[in-house]
Structure 1
């Protein structure tokens, strides 16, 4: 795990090496200064030698400036190395996420991925910086100070040694108790981010249903869970401070008491005593730094594991070794297709599906909620792979195509219409980044989007807010259809993509498709009979199976489900629910 994380350093290896080097330089400077101070007291002041005091004082200034420069260098290089590592980790994770199939994305929640890209990487960044700066500095400072103390007075230095051993045992006990809380706390962040993400993206629904208090309560619960976990962990960790402080005072008292007797008896000089007290502080502060390093490492272990899970996740859909880079036409065939989102599921979502669609046909797809209409069309552009059977486009198994080629020729307007921050031009050009203004306008005309775009103050340069928050549902659907049309695909799939437009606009869009893109195979998923009754043929789905596949007239005569739907929408009340059997 550590090897994989550090493998993302790349161009930041040199700052990672220079940081501990600078920290060692700072430690050396700190260790020299107490010796010089002791000499000033023992030789300069006691001997009334002003020249010696000045020379040694100037030497202390030089050493202090060297230590300062080394400390600044360590801070600069450490920051560069840690932020660079964080940048590379985020880039590696984000790049890998872009390769995920829908089944990979289903494995991680969107809130979980956001947490891993932000909070978890920040934890690694902070830990890495502390490790670079303190993991080298603290042990070096403690060891050198201990050695210097034993050189000055082994008897007094033994006090440090006993204190260090006792503190080490106490710190290990505290960290073991705190570790399990830190491991759990980051999982709680997923719930918090999920609450924020859902609330912000669906704020209009929240307000429409007056659910603000419920959402605030849900957020408070998620935030409280994180708070309680951190408090439990921090209560244990903060005991470190009082224990350290108490140990420092005890050491100072013992050294002062024993040292005073040694000075009186001539076994120790006053300067040496001052040096020992300084080394005492260095040793115990270094031990405190080490304990904080262990805390950070403990916190970052859980984050590192979650980051590696994303980096190591392999897409379930890969390009073949020698992919086909051209789709001949828009013909589609399903041959004994079975599909399940979870391969371990006993009951497949799609069951023995057999279809044959000619290039250029307009096919309607209708069925109750949960009948797997969207699942069926998602297999065509290989957003998922079948478990059994084959899906063919242009007479070729979709698994043999280059995925970019296939998805450029099989354009899908999904149920959830998503627009991105930017102008209308920029959003439509997702279909073809090199499209001219004329091509963009034509696509919008086919999708009947030009009607409202031209009424906007800035026309096609109107800025769309994130998620298309400043346009209506019907406008958002038409812009997404225009975006798909700009790809000039051989297969166009509309997954319930005109549900938010009125029937007149729906009819205009279907008429434009028939006249302007007659050679494109069009699959239209709809809940309204009026949206698909003019199609060449209609697929009726029921519980993952093809219950009927024929023209509108023939289905009315021969298919019970279709006839019941038709009667419920056209023949009787006109507003009956699709799923109700009347």
Structure 2
């Protein structure tokens, strides 16, 4: 999974990576050449007192060192550019895929997990690429080249290399095998702590209202303890790995000095050769240490790559049909034909055999008890979900056969929970139509009964809006959301219980202003308050997902017992008479 992901997203950076490999190879060759030059200075220059030779070879060593440094800097720059570019592309691809998900896929992964996968998981893969670019050539070439150079210099000491390398490999394998499941567990616990923190931040008002601060603190502490426990175990392995490596390194150097010193004393090995052998031994063990470090990063990056691939490999349930329609022959017409809808793995349908037609310029209200399927109707009209059976048509086109962008341009949605983005009043209103003028924004605010409070805000249209609109009241958020939909100038306006936070007087003024401002626009109004929809051209009464009655307010009072009960419960017996 990791290799497939890297192969896909690193392909555009192949020229840069080729440059990294060439530069890294040149750097390693220079590193392997330096101990030989040092040995020559000791054995041929110092031993014979040839100062000219020492200066000449010393100058060559300086030139090789400068070239080595230049190659290292250039290789690191190219590697960083490749890794950062790959990370950018990967995050963009994940965002694009998540943006195409329906509510079903988002709920299956969880918002917190999707955020983690697009941030922390991508970062781990990105770091692996960066470290691989700087160590992929360096580690094996340094280790193998060091062995060749060391053995050619002092074959009698080669057994020290064999023993040291074997011990290091055993240590690395034993520790890395324990790290792989821990890294997988760590990422899962990171998802959990992000989910808990996100819920607590977004639900802070509910937590305080129900005095759940202490319980939520314990829940966070539990998630925090879990991730700390796994992190501690990983840390213990790291703490164990590097001291063991240093121990092997120190023992190996001691062995070289001990046994090599005897051979120098016996005239079998020259001093310079022994110094070079020690340098090569250090390079060999350093190469193995680098490989060990990579072997620690690879398991975690592999887990992250698997999680990223799960997102990229998940096909959205809401697909775009080939040759999707971009034009609508009957603008403003809304129709449902024998619609059934059932959530995956649910035993019962949310909607059953629902059919209705809303003509341009009319108002259709949808009422019913809680859980009757009112908001589901809005979700199907906007194609946030697809019907299980039947058809939903906007402008005479089945929404499943329409281009999503073209479909959504026909619609203006005011959701049940008004959401505003961080920015200004103007930037939020222009989400629907960026080219809208200030005059159009003020006109929409006036219809939505929001002009007065926006004028009183410091900055007016440029007044700041916090993320989620937390610096304005619930009623103000709803009115701004209504104004945002009006600025869009859609053919169909959908109100999903969008007047619930308004007082009766503001509700009445808004509805009075809405009619003249939306002439020719089809309005679908999901409402809990009957007073909001008494003047609708047709009212649809839902009960347990079935359309049990339709008609005007007066007609339903005469023909529908369920509607009369709703009116009586809200407006009293006299209103239902």
TM-score after normalising by structure 2: 0.95
**2:299 paired residue number:** 298
- Measure the CA separation in 1 of the matches of 2:446 and 2:327: 28
For the 8 Å contact 1:421–1:468, the answer to whether it is kept is: yes
Is 1:106 the counterpart of 2:107? The answer is yes
3-state SS, counterpart of residue 352 of structure 2: strand
**Could you tell me how far 1:140 is from its partner in structure 2?**
0.8
**1:505 paired residue number:** 506
Is 1:282 the counterpart of 2:283? The answer is yes
Q: How does 1:36-435 map to 2 (within 5 A)?
A: 36-327=37-328, 328-342=330-344, 344-435=345-436
**Could you tell me how far 1:573 is from its partner in structure 2?**
13
- Measure the CA separation in 1 of the matches of 2:84 and 2:331: 49
- Measure the CA separation in 2 of the matches of 1:213 and 1:285: 50
**1:577 paired residue number:** none
Is 1:567 the counterpart of 2:574? The answer is no
For the 8 Å contact 2:154–2:274, the answer to whether it is kept is: no
For the 8 Å contact 2:260–2:274, the answer to whether it is kept is: yes
- Measure the CA separation in 2 of the matches of 1:132 and 1:476: 50
**2:476 paired residue number:** 475
3-state SS, counterpart of residue 415 of structure 1: coil
For the 8 Å contact 2:24–2:138, the answer to whether it is kept is: yes
Unaligned runs of 5+ in 2: none
For the 8 Å contact 1:178–1:237, the answer to whether it is kept is: no
- Measure the CA separation in 1 of the matches of 2:574 and 2:43: 106
**Could you tell me how far 1:322 is from its partner in structure 2?**
2.7
**Could you tell me how far 1:396 is from its partner in structure 2?**
2.7
- Measure the CA separation in 1 of the matches of 2:253 and 2:562: 89
3-state SS, counterpart of residue 17 of structure 1: helix
**Could you tell me how far 1:177 is from its partner in structure 2?**
1.3
- Measure the CA separation in 2 of the matches of 1:159 and 1:354: 84
- Measure the CA separation in 2 of the matches of 1:185 and 1:530: 53
- Measure the CA separation in 1 of the matches of 2:397 and 2:256: 85
3-state SS, counterpart of residue 334 of structure 1: strand
Equivalenced residue count is 573
Q: Supply the RMSD in Å over aligned alpha carbons.
A: 2.0
- The Cα offsets for residues 89-124 of structure 1, whole Å up to 9 and x where unpaired, read as 111111222222333333321111110111011101
**2:438 paired residue number:** 437
For the 8 Å contact 1:20–1:137, the answer to whether it is kept is: no
3-state SS, counterpart of residue 324 of structure 1: coil
Deviates more, 1:524-533 or 1:95-104: 95-104
For the 8 Å contact 2:5–2:305, the answer to whether it is kept is: no
- Measure the CA separation in 2 of the matches of 1:216 and 1:436: 47
- Measure the CA separation in 1 of the matches of 2:396 and 2:51: 98
Unaligned runs of 5+ in 1: 575-582
For the 8 Å contact 1:331–1:360, the answer to whether it is kept is: no
- Measure the CA separation in 2 of the matches of 1:416 and 1:187: 30
Is 1:493 the counterpart of 2:467? The answer is no
3-state SS, counterpart of residue 89 of structure 1: helix
**1:578 paired residue number:** none
- Measure the CA separation in 2 of the matches of 1:517 and 1:251: 85
**Could you tell me how far 1:572 is from its partner in structure 2?**
7.1
**1:17 paired residue number:** 18
- Measure the CA separation in 1 of the matches of 2:37 and 2:524: 85
**Could you tell me how far 1:473 is from its partner in structure 2?**
0.7
